[in-house]
Amino acid sequence: MSQVNSSQEPLVSVIIPTYDRPEYLKQAINSAVKQTYRNIEIIVSDNCSPISPQKIVESFGDSRIQCSSQLSNVGMFVNQMDTFKKAQGKYVASLHDDDMWNEDFLEKLVPALEKNPDIILAFCDQYIIDKHGKIDHIGTEENSTAYKRTILKKGVHQPFIEIAVIDKSVPIAAACVIRKEFVDWEKIPQEVDGMWDLYLAYLCSRSGHGAYYYPEKLTRYRAHEQTDTNLSGSLDAKANLSGSLDAHTKAKIRKGRAEIFCYEQFMKDEKLKKYKLYFKQKWLESHTTLAIGLLRSEQTTEARPYLLRALSEQKFNFRTIAALILSFIPRPITNQLLGVAAK
């Protein structure tokens, strides 16, 4: 595909927060550098990795890339928001350090934003790839179907609150271009943590502006054992090593707390009142998620109130009942049932 004259293109800021994934980072940067849309800046923000990615950045010899490092590990959320705030472009696009874009990702999404000045974001569908970069075709179709992108019509959707926060069709973190000036970046509270992408989708959807959907798969989301989604796991997720258990437990607790906060905010929003019952159910499910994380970390007393609230305010839920029963079982047996006993 031919490249557009970059002098006529608005600047797009590509933000890449990273931590200790040098090989994946190299692939992510490479996919940004090779964009057929040329007028970009690439902002790499390292969250104090053991080895600085500076040499990786320098190896590209591309003046469009800038790299900075946090003085200490500030957490995923702060590092992510720092990159957004450093962006100088008219548009911003998040690219996680383990994901990749097709070469024409920006070329196909930016024109929709330029043509429609009231659109706040443009997004596309995505492939799911494994840790080696191979496309998981079954996983891809399951993902697209689960987030209803297979039935979403191409073009402008306005309003798009249901698409953003109910169907969760908008992959903010890796397959979306956002009009920077329409977002108040200071309104994203730190409590949203790893759910920052859902919260940002929420802010964009309640703004009154529209969203544009391009139904082609233009990005590649890498599903592997170190993603927060996989680390947060499920009730029967297994980890054989103490270090792995610690990561799974922390991810589960982070996810639970972040979801509780987000759904509480959504329930309070008058613009979203028609979805209040849905958010209430998700809020209660988040209580169980947090409680399971607390049980794994042997914080049984702290876990029970979350389980009791979830059980008292929703219909029969096996996951919640199972977790509550486990909270009264002796620890060695609980460890085995949670699938986290060291072998």
CATH number of the domain within which 120 lies? 3.90.550.10
Tell me, yes or no, whether 92 and 177 share the same domain: yes
Residue where a domain terminates, one of 157, 189, 222: 222
Does residue 47 form part of some domain? yes
Any domain includes 343: no
Q: Is residue 172, in this structure, part of any structural domain at all?
A: yes
Out of 222, 242, 264, pick the residue that ends a domain: 222
Query: How far is Cα 150 from Cα 136, in angstroms, rounded to an integer?
Result: 16
- Who's near 154: CB < 8 A, 6+ residues apart? 213, 214, 215
Give the residue numbers spanning the domain of 210: 6-222
Angle among Cα 121, 124, 126 to the nearest 5 degrees reads: 140
Residues 91 and 48 in one domain: yes
Q: What is the Rg, in whole angstroms, of the alpha carbon atoms belonging to the chain? A: 21
The torsion angles phi and psi of 213, rounded to 5 degrees, stand at -110, 130
Domain end position, chosen among 222, 254, 278? 222
Cβ 267 vs Cβ 280: under 8 Å: yes
Kindly state the tokens that stand for 171: 């992959």
- Same domain for 24 and 161, yes or no, is yes
- 1 domain residue, yes or no: no
Q: Do residues 241 and 218 share a domain?
A: no
What is the number of structural domains in the chain?
2
What's the pTM value of the predicted model, to 2 decimals?
Answer: 0.88
pLDDT, one tens digit for every residue, the chain (343 residues): 334 445 589 999 999 999 999 999 999 999 999 999 999 999 999 999 999 999 999 999 999 999 999 999 999 999 999 999 999 999 999 999 999 999 999 999 999 999 999 999 999 999 999 999 999 999 999 999 999 999 999 999 999 999 999 999 999 999 999 999 999 999 999 999 999 999 999 999 999 999 999 999 999 999 976 555 333 233 333 333 334 457 888 889 999 999 999 999 999 999 999 999 999 999 999 999 999 999 988 899 999 999 999 988 877 788 888 888 888 887 666 566 555 433 3
